[in-house]
Amino acid sequence: MSGYRFCRTDDVAALVHAWNACYRVHFPDLLPLTVEAFKRLVRELDLWTSSCMLASEGDRPIGVLLSCKRETESLIHGIGVHPDFLRAGHGRHMMESLASKLAILGPPRLVAEVPAVEEGACAFLEACGYARERTFTDLLLHRRPEPPSAAEFVVEVTADDLLAHGAVERVSGAAWHRAPEAIARRRADLQGLALASDERIEAHVLYHSAAPRGPCEILAFGAAMPERRDALLALLIQTLAARSEGPVVLRRTTPDEVPFPLLEALGFRPAGRTHVYAIDAKGGMKATAGG
Handedness of CA 282, 286, 289, 291 (dihedral sign): negative
Q: 2-107, what's its fold?
A: Aminopeptidase (3.40.630)
Tell me the β-bridge partners of 203.
195, 223
Of residues 167 and 252, more confidently modeled: 252
Nearest residue to 237 via CA among 222, 255, 253: 222
Q: Is the dihedral of CA 168, 173, 179, 180 positive or negative?
A: positive
- Residue pair 160/187 in contact (Cβ under 8 Å)? The answer is yes
Residue 13 C-beta-side C-alpha neighbours within 13 Å: 1
- 212 has pLDDT over 80: no
Instruction: List the chain domain ranges.
Output: 2-107, 139-274
Q: For 139-274, which CATH class?
A: alpha beta
Q: With residue 163 as reference, give the H or E element that holds it.
A: helix 159-164
Which of the four pLDDT bands, split at 50, 70 and 90, describes residue 87? very high
Residue 136: C-alpha distances to residues 47, 258, 284 (Å)? 22, 12, 26
Share of the chain above pLDDT 70, in %: 97
Q: For the whole model, what pTM was predicted?
A: 0.92
**Exposure of 289 by Cβ count < 10 A (0-12 exposed, 13-18 middle, 19+ buried)?**
exposed
pLDDT number for residue 214? 84
Residue range 6-33, pLDDT digits in tens: 999 999 999 999 999 999 999 999 999 9
Mean pLDDT throughout 53-58?
96
CB 279 within 8 A of CB 110: yes
* Res 288 pLDDT > 50: no
pLDDT band at 213, cuts 50/70/90? confident
Q: Give the relative orientation of helices 12-22 and 35-45 as an angle to the nearest 10 degrees.
A: 100
Helix (H, G, I), strand (E, B) or coil at 231: helix
**Nearest to 11, CA basis, from 58, 57, 91, 65:** 65
Distance CA 120, CA 114 (A): 10
Which residues, at least 6 apart from 263, have a Cβ–Cβ distance to it below 8 Å?
139, 141, 237, 250
Phi then psi for 233, rounded to 5 degrees?
-65, -40
Question: What is residue 122's predicted lDDT score, i.e. its pLDDT?
Answer: 97
- How much is the pLDDT for 286? 52
For residues 144-154, average pLDDT:
86
The model's pLDDT over 178-196, given as tens digits with 9 standing for 90+, comes to 999 999 999 999 999 999 9
Distance of CA 136 to the CA centre of its chain: 11
Strand, helix or coil at 155? Answer: strand
Domains 2-107 and 139-274 share a fold: yes
pLDDT digits (tens, 9 = 90+) for 100-125: 999 999 999 999 999 999 999 999 99
